[in-house]
Chain A
Amino acid sequence: MTKSLVAGALGLLMPALALAGEYNISVDRVMIDTGDFVKEGIGYNGSSPGPVLRFKEGEDVTINVTNNLDEATSIHWHGLILPFDQDGVPGISFAGIPAGETFTYTFPVVQSGTYWFHSHSGFQEPNGAYGSIVIEPKGREPFRYDREYVVQLTDKHPHDAARVMRNLKMMPDYYNRKQQTVGDFFSDVSEHGFMNALSDRMAWGDMRMMKADVEDVQGFTGLINGKGPDQNWTGLFEPGERIRLRFINSSAMAYFDVRIPGLDMTVVQADGNNVQPVTVDEFRIGVAETYDVIVRPKTEEAFTIFAESMGRSGYARATLAPREGMEGPIPSLRDAPLLTMADMGGMHGMDHGSMDMGEDDMAGMDHSSMADDGMKSMGDNQMDHSSMAGMDHGSMMMSGNGAEDPFYAKGSGLVPTAANGGKFLSYADLKAQKPLYEDREPTREIELRLTGNMERYSWSINGVKYEDAEAIKLQYGERVRFKFVNETMMTHPMHLHGMWSILDTGAGKWNPVKHTISVQPGTTVFMETEVDAPGQWAFHCHLSYHAASGMFRKVVVEGGPDQGSNAGVKQEQVGGDV
């Protein structure tokens, strides 16, 4: 990557001048070698993933993006707060970058942390068009580290993304090779008895839902910084050093459960915003999320960074080692999770008589009321077990693993547990280090039901696909409370562009500030947004094939000052009315 600080010379002469950096990015056809297969894809500056862009908070960046493809492209700066016309979504921010042309992005960098960038055109992102952004803060960071690495995950599939989409539309289970078989049925019979196994199958068959429907697109190779498990990306360290790992999930579809056997990980940042440090053994990173963790290997040995996909159909692997070439043991994949009826809690047509699950209890993960009773110590499992009674119908096999997390349906089969039996990060553990905004009452609530039909592979919001949808209109200066109700059996990482998503964990002013919020099946999750960015923005599920098949909205922010000149200072307009 060629980076030139044009203001460098000037800056020496006039130190008071604002920082300004100029960056050049070319969008190219590249070859991607995962170790398992080689395929053509799209990359930046000749490779996929693209470069690590290193900005400084307060810098005015100029980024020249040259499109060497024979089709239009775009770059979206994921998580960056900037004027809407620099956000890089064709048809919403700007017209896109035609083939052969250069587009110059200019915007002030008003934040710090770990972010990423990717194409927002067609299926270029799952085809390889992504890179990372590291922004150095103006002030001191509230944690120390001796070295840092970007750890960018993706789920590289041998098929071109457009073909994946077409196959999913033609046969929604095209890539699902974790389906329940006759053999699994007999296992269930021996474990639960014939009638229980049969009625369980009948209950799922009646809904035309598969409990193995956790990962739609399987058959990928997990990559870390572009390297497959066998190519083993390696980050070097000196024993005793604190290493900051900047995890970014740039997958098209795959969630990853990440651990480094032998090392505790202290989570210090989520989606670019510092959180109160929490030490965990393992964490789940949703598509498009970032987590920064600090690890401190004290011994002269190699440690494996192991990232299993949530559906256990693939993994990514890398190594932290004192010397190049060293390897740690590679754990085997754990069993794939299965959805339970609890994950179906939000579905329509749950009233099948014999399967009455007490829908109100199941679907209503009402976090506002949970805040009142013991959200502070969620880790102590203060969940109300009495309401679980409604689920025990004897005839049903509730195969949840017994683990609990307030951001999963009670009895969900998806609740993650740490491989070593230790601490697994929950959203409930995330508390803002320094709230970006004053905590205030939201001015209104907008309900967004996450809807879809797996058998048609069509995904929507409030039952309406993007092609048929009106824009969501917000007023500048308001604080909107979004209520996500997941009525599907898939997890959806919802990403609002341009404005922060304050996730309601019940921690009040310490609620974490994110750009992407995972909504698990059968749950209701709330987030609040200070509407402080005029213009129009994209708002969508970040699973590539869900977004492309309709789970996408345009958000229009009406009113407010002219966005062109002062978007960079919007964070100082906390709670400001127009």
Chain B
Amino acid sequence: MNNLKLSALMLAMALPATQVMASDMPVDDSGRKDALHLWGVQFEELEYRYSDDDEELGVWNADAFYGTDELKFRWLGKGEYAIEEQAYETLENQLVLQTPISAFFDAKAGVRFDTPEGPDRTYGVLGVTGLAPQWFEVDANLYVSDEGDTSAALDAEYELLLTNHLILSAALDATVAFSEDEEIGVGKGLVSTETGLRLSYDLIDRALSPYVGVVHERKYGDTADFARAEGGSTEDWFAVIGARVAF
């Protein structure tokens, strides 16, 4: 475009032929002129959990992305597999598009598919994710289900460097429902919290970091009542062992 404009200008000015013509110049169609396209796959959690009432779970919290600084396509997956029951207590998959909205935060929009044991749900997702002051990694999402129920979830994580390889990370996930969805055991109000403390060691770069930790899960209010009625627990402590994986 600019080259065209320039050449037109030059012609109009009838410059001598010895001038370097902009139109003779190479146009940068090298990869350098394109936005960097990058990808990544990460398991923030990939772990075995053993509860205080002998429940065993296989748990993961993963994400994968492809895209540029300006727009990323991201898959987020979460699963809790009850080993004895051979059933998914939780199975979530989100597909979102992500774009920066400020220096440290991105907005996300997409869909979430929940297909655990029991009734399925599909949600529309709107969220922000990024780095808050004092190095808190924050992920906040608003969900609207295909049943018309709305809920919100906030995840926050903080890493404490005991050394440059030994890292203690604290994570808090909290879910709030703005309406009741009894079929999937969700009551209005604060639904549940999951608090985790994990001590990891970076074994191979930041690609493989085994960890041990404890996780506390709790249900609240009507959600807790629904769980009790089903004969489930409302509060669990887990010992966890696993690894953070990135590649």
When the two chains form their complex, are residues A122 and B36 in contact, meaning their CB atoms are under 8 A apart?
no
Question: Which residue of B6, B39, B134, B246 is within 8 Å of A206 (Cβ)?
Answer: B134
CA of A467 to CA of B26, assembled, Å: 16
User: What residue of chain A has the Cβ atom nearest to residue B27's Cβ?
Assistant: A91
Instruction: For B163, list chain A residues within 8 Å (CB).
Output: 181, 183
CA of A165 to CA of B25, assembled, Å: 30
- The stretch of A34-42, A395-403, A428-436, A453-461 in contact with B is A453-461
CA of A208 to CA of B135, assembled, Å: 6
When the two chains form their complex, are residues A208 and B133 in contact, meaning their CB atoms are under 8 A apart?
yes
Residue B69 interfacial (CB < 8 Å): yes
Residue A507 interfacial (CB < 8 Å): no
Instruction: For B164, list chain A residues within 8 Å (CB).
Output: 177-179, 181
Residue B165 interfacial (CB < 8 Å): yes
Instruction: For A548, list chain B residues within 8 Å (CB).
Output: 32, 36
Instruction: For B134, list chain A residues within 8 Å (CB).
Output: 202, 205-206
Instruction: For B77, list chain A residues within 8 Å (CB).
Output: none
Instruction: For B42, list chain A residues within 8 Å (CB).
Output: 170
Question: Within residues 201 to 244 of chain B, which ones have a CB less than 8 A from any CB in chain A?
Answer: 205-206
Question: Within residues 155 to 179 of chain A, which ones have a CB less than 8 A from any CB in chain B?
Answer: 165-167, 169-171, 174-175, 177-179
Given contacts A208-B131, A208-B135, A554-B28, contact A182 B33 (CB under 8 A): no
Distance (Å) between the CB of A60 and the closest chain B CB?
Answer: 21
Given contacts A453-B103, A561-B18, contact A535 B34 (CB under 8 A): no
Total contacting residues, chain A, CB less than 8 A: 54
User: What residue of chain A has the Cβ atom nearest to residue B162's Cβ?
Assistant: A182
When the two chains form their complex, are residues B160 and A182 in contact, meaning their CB atoms are under 8 A apart?
yes
When the two chains form their complex, are residues A181 and B131 in contact, meaning their CB atoms are under 8 A apart?
no
Distance (Å) between the CB of A159 and the closest chain B CB?
Answer: 8
* Residue interface bits B155-168, CB-to-A below 8 A is 1, else 0: 00000111111000
When the two chains form their complex, are residues A562 and B38 in contact, meaning their CB atoms are under 8 A apart?
no
When the two chains form their complex, are residues A471 and B2 in contact, meaning their CB atoms are under 8 A apart?
yes
Residue B31 interfacial (CB < 8 Å): yes
Instruction: For A58, list chain B residues within 8 Å (CB).
Output: none
Residue B20 interfacial (CB < 8 Å): yes
Question: Within residues 549 to 578 of chain A, which ones have a CB less than 8 A from any CB in chain B?
Answer: 549, 552, 554, 556-563
When the two chains form their complex, are residues B32 and A180 in contact, meaning their CB atoms are under 8 A apart?
no
Residue A24 interfacial (CB < 8 Å): no
Instruction: For A554, list chain B residues within 8 Å (CB).
Output: 28
Residue B185 interfacial (CB < 8 Å): no
When the two chains form their complex, are residues B69 and A562 in contact, meaning their CB atoms are under 8 A apart?
no
When the two chains form their complex, are residues B38 and A91 in contact, meaning their CB atoms are under 8 A apart?
no
Given contacts A177-B164, A535-B25, A563-B20, contact A171 B246 (CB under 8 A): yes
When the two chains form their complex, are residues A179 and B31 in contact, meaning their CB atoms are under 8 A apart?
no
Distance (Å) between the CB of A196 and the closest chain B CB?
Answer: 17
Instruction: For A92, list chain B residues within 8 Å (CB).
Output: 26, 28
* Residue interface bits B21-54, CB-to-A below 8 A is 1, else 0: 0100111111111111011101000000000000
Distance (Å) between the CB of B188 and the closest chain A CB?
Answer: 36
Residue A311 interfacial (CB < 8 Å): no
When the two chains form their complex, are residues A170 and B103 in contact, meaning their CB atoms are under 8 A apart?
no
* Residue interface bits A233-248, CB-to-B below 8 A is 1, else 0: 0000000000000000
Question: Within residues 117 to 161 of chain A, which ones have a CB less than 8 A from any CB in chain B?
Answer: 121-122
Total contacting residues, chain B, CB less than 8 A: 39
Distance (Å) between the CB of A214 and the closest chain B CB?
Answer: 14
Distance (Å) between the CB of A125 and the closest chain B CB?
Answer: 13
Residue B86 interfacial (CB < 8 Å): no
Instruction: For A562, list chain B residues within 8 Å (CB).
Output: 18-20
Given contacts A166-B38, A559-B19, A561-B18, contact A174 B206 (CB under 8 A): yes
When the two chains form their complex, are residues B33 and A467 in contact, meaning their CB atoms are under 8 A apart?
yes
Given contacts A122-B31, A166-B40, A170-B40, contact A206 B133 (CB under 8 A): yes
Residue A477 interfacial (CB < 8 Å): no
When the two chains form their complex, are residues A466 and B33 in contact, meaning their CB atoms are under 8 A apart?
yes
Instruction: For B104, list chain A residues within 8 Å (CB).
Output: 208, 455
When the two chains form their complex, are residues B26 and A455 in contact, meaning their CB atoms are under 8 A apart?
no
CA of A206 to CA of B32, assembled, Å: 33
Instruction: For B131, list chain A residues within 8 Å (CB).
Output: 208, 455
Residue A413 interfacial (CB < 8 Å): no
Q: Which of A179, A467, A534, A552: most chain B Cβ within 10 A?
A: A467
Residue B110 interfacial (CB < 8 Å): no
Instruction: For A557, list chain B residues within 8 Å (CB).
Output: 20
User: What residue of chain B has the Cβ atom nearest to residue A476's Cβ?
Assistant: B20
Residue A104 interfacial (CB < 8 Å): no
Distance (Å) between the CB of A215 and the closest chain B CB?
Answer: 13
Distance (Å) between the CB of A541 and the closest chain B CB?
Answer: 13
Given contacts A178-B164, A182-B161, contact A456 B69 (CB under 8 A): yes
CA of A121 to CA of B28, assembled, Å: 12
When the two chains form their complex, are residues A165 and B20 in contact, meaning their CB atoms are under 8 A apart?
no
Instruction: For B26, list chain A residues within 8 Å (CB).
Output: 91-95, 536
Residue B100 interfacial (CB < 8 Å): yes
CA of A179 to CA of B35, assembled, Å: 30
Question: Which residue of A93, A219, A470, A560 is within 8 Å of B2 (Cβ)?
Answer: A470
Instruction: For A96, list chain B residues within 8 Å (CB).
Output: 30
CA of A178 to CA of B34, assembled, Å: 33
When the two chains form their complex, are residues B33 and A91 in contact, meaning their CB atoms are under 8 A apart?
yes
Distance (Å) between the CB of B53 and the closest chain A CB?
Answer: 34
User: Can you list 21 A-B pairs, Cβ within 8 angstroms, ordered by A?
Assistant: A90-B30, A91-B26, A91-B32, A92-B28, A122-B31, A170-B38, A181-B163, A182-B161, A182-B162, A183-B162, A183-B163, A208-B104, A219-B205, A455-B103, A458-B69, A466-B32, A548-B32, A556-B25, A558-B20, A560-B19, A562-B18
A169-B36, A182-B160, A458-B69 provided; 18 other pairs, C-beta below 8 A?
A: A91-B27, A92-B26, A169-B40, A170-B40, A181-B161, A182-B161, A182-B162, A183-B162, A202-B134, A205-B135, A207-B133, A208-B104, A455-B103, A456-B100, A471-B2, A548-B32, A552-B32, A558-B20
